[in-house]
């Protein structure tokens, strides 16, 4: 690392990561007409799995608690997510240690 380089050290907060996944699932449910998911697709960054380590199951259970026992849950690990930081931004960037949750329901 070159001398004088600005660096930032980060420490993961496990509870906030798990609560964030639960909150995202609840946000997804909020846009469904009957607040009931039938299918939940979770895409999590492998970096997030490495950070959470053996607590990754807690994150999945938090999503399960949010969507209920009848929803079918599936997902996979990716190597990051490429998207803009905000809706008005034109440039995409790599996001790491993210979890994307999509909920589906049929009328």
- Mean pLDDT of all residues in 16-25: 94
Nearest to 18 by CA among 61, 50, 54: 61
Q: How far is CA 11 from CA 8, 16, 35, 52, 100, in A?
A: 10, 12, 34, 12, 21
**Helices 56-67 and 14-30, interaxial angle, to 10°?**
20
Q: Over the stretch 42-69, which tens digit does the pLDDT of each residue have?
A: 999 898 899 999 999 999 999 999 999 9
The percent of residues in the chain predicted with pLDDT above 90, rounded, is 58
Per-residue pLDDT, averaged over 73-87, amounts to 87
Residue among 56, 29, 31 nearest 40 (CA): 29
Note the pTM of the prediction, 2 decimals.
Answer: 0.80
In the predicted structure, residue 29 carries a pLDDT above the cut 80: yes
Instruction: Assess whether pLDDT exceeds 90 at residue 8.
Output: no
């Amino acid at each position: 690392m070159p001398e004088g380089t600005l660096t930032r050290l980060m420490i993961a907060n496990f509870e906030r990561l798990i609560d964030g996944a639960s909150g995202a699932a609840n946000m997804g449910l909020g846009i469904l007409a009957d607040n009931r998911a039938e299918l939940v697709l979770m895409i999590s960054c492998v970096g997030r799995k490495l950070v959470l380590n053996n607590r990754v199951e807690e994150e999945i259970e938090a999503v399960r608690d949010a969507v209920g026992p009848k929803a079918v849950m599936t997902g996979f690990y990716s190597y990051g997510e490429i998207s803009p930081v905000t809706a008005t931004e034109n440039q995409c960037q790599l996001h790491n240690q993210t979890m994307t949750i999509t909920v589906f329901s049929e009328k």
